[in-house]
Amino acid sequence: MKILVTGGLGFIGSHTVVELQNKGYDVVIIDDLSNASIEVLDGIESITGKRPEFVELDLRDKHLVYEFFKSNKDLDGIIHFAASKAVGESMQNPMKYYENNFFSLINVLSAMQEYGLDKIIFSSSCTVYGQGKVMPIKENESVKPALSPYGNTKQVGEEIIIDLAKVYPLNAILLRYFNPIGAHESVMIGESPLGVPYNLIPYITQTAVGVREFLSIYGDDYDTPDGTCVRDYIHVVDLADAHVRALARLVNKENTDQIEAFNVGNGQGYSVLELVHSFERVSGIKLNYKIVDRRPGDVDKAWADNTKAREVLGWKPTKTLDDMLDSAWKWEQKVRNS
Ligand code: UFG
């Protein structure tokens, strides 16, 4: 089985490539290296013993995308990660988000249609729920207006897939991730954002090693027990496993609907302060932090009802919050010492 993984050198993409190769799939990665480095291929190879095929390509270029698909008509499935993904950055630079996330998705889908391919897993996000009122969030929770351009690209991305499936026999699984963190236990791959990180965990670990002076905690006056935002953190390897299971469901034609959506989260919420304290416990380091103003686009709280993924995909999260932070910390130390 040959699977295309777009954005396969990124954080979630690379961990998913490892799990796919470990299950015997052949993988072709497309990545434009805009937020990932080529050395990730070495990491994947050292874990799995196999170097995936790699094509450097900008998915916004329709001509190049069609050329790729024309010579890869034997693909059995596609996992589409390639996208920009930071809520905060999308508020500052919305056009980057609309261009990257829409052009790439549209080009991939229309090339699939052109060359008769019909199976795709789409990286979606809990952001499609906006600020849900009822926690934990179920998949049938109504989609609310997005609070950020990034969130909007995920909502509309889902709609584009749904619309195409009305006129083309597409089978798609939308995986709605909560907050993926952590790193592979081998410490060969992890999260390596280029430049100043927008996400919480790399900011925490970079502060702990001294690359950043202090962590800014965005707001402590939310409607949550300690006033800081609550999120559902999920270990990236557990998330990768959900992709392999979703892909197997499509490849084995077990899906009951053309489009299926699954929440992928631990099912438990932790506040930013709880996370900081858990990190301090795991690393033995006292973290420098300051409470600052709220960050535009943030929701108060979001955590998943993951029953559907457990029951239908046979998936379950296996890692604790301490495991997640421990692996993220080991990865950061490795990056700094290499
Ligand atoms: N945070 C800080 N300081 C930082 C960075 C983050 O306090 O320097 C806080 C944020 O305010 C938020 C929490 O840490 O409360 C997590 O923030 P991240 O940026 O790591 O992640 P988000 O929750 O913003 O984003 C995640 C997923 C998105 C998804 C979104 C939905 O990465 O894919 O949740 O809310 F869309």
Active site residue 198: no
Chain segment 41-100, per-residue pLDDT in tens: 999 999 999 999 999 999 999 999 999 999 999 999 999 999 999 888 898 999 999 999
Residue extents of the structural domains in the chain: 2-181+233-265
User: Architecture of domain 2-181+233-265 in CATH?
Assistant: 3-Layer(aba) Sandwich (3.40)
**Which residue among 272, 273, 276, 294 has the greatest number of ligand 1 atoms within 8 angstroms of its CB, and so is best to mutate?**
272
Q: How far is the CA of 239 from the centre of ligand 1 (A)?
A: 17
Is the entire prediction scored with pTM above 0.95? yes
Cβ(198) – ligand 1 distance below 6 Å? yes
SS3 letters for the chain? CEEEEECCCCHHHHHHHHHHHHCCCEEEEEECCCCCCCCHHHHHHHHHCCCCEEEECCCCCHHHHHHHHHCCCCCCEEEECCCCCCHHHHHHCHHHHHHHHHHHHHHHHHHHHHCCCCEEEEEEEHHHHCCCCCCCECCCCCCCCCCCHHHHHHHHHHHHHHHHHHHCCCEEEEEEECEEECCCCCCCCCCCCCCCCCCHHHHHHHHHCCCCCCEEEECCCCCCCCCCCEECEEEHHHHHHHHHHHHHHHHCCCCCCCEEEEEECCCCCEEHHHHHHHHHHHHCCCCCEEEECCCCCCCCECCECCHHHHHHHCCCCCCCHHHHHHHHHHHHHHHHHC
Q: How far is the CA of 200 from the centre of ligand 1 (A)?
A: 6
Q: Over 90: is that where the pLDDT of 192 sits?
A: no
**Which residue among 234, 295, 303 has the greatest number of ligand 1 atoms within 8 angstroms of its CB, and so is best to mutate?**
295
Catalytic residue chosen out of the listed positions 97, 150, 222, 270 = 150
How confident is residue 190, by pLDDT bands cut at 50, 70 and 90? very high
Give pLDDT, residue 307. Answer: 98
How confident is residue 133, by pLDDT bands cut at 50, 70 and 90? confident
Chain segment 197-249, per-residue pLDDT in tens: 989 999 999 999 999 999 999 999 999 999 999 999 999 999 999 999 999 99
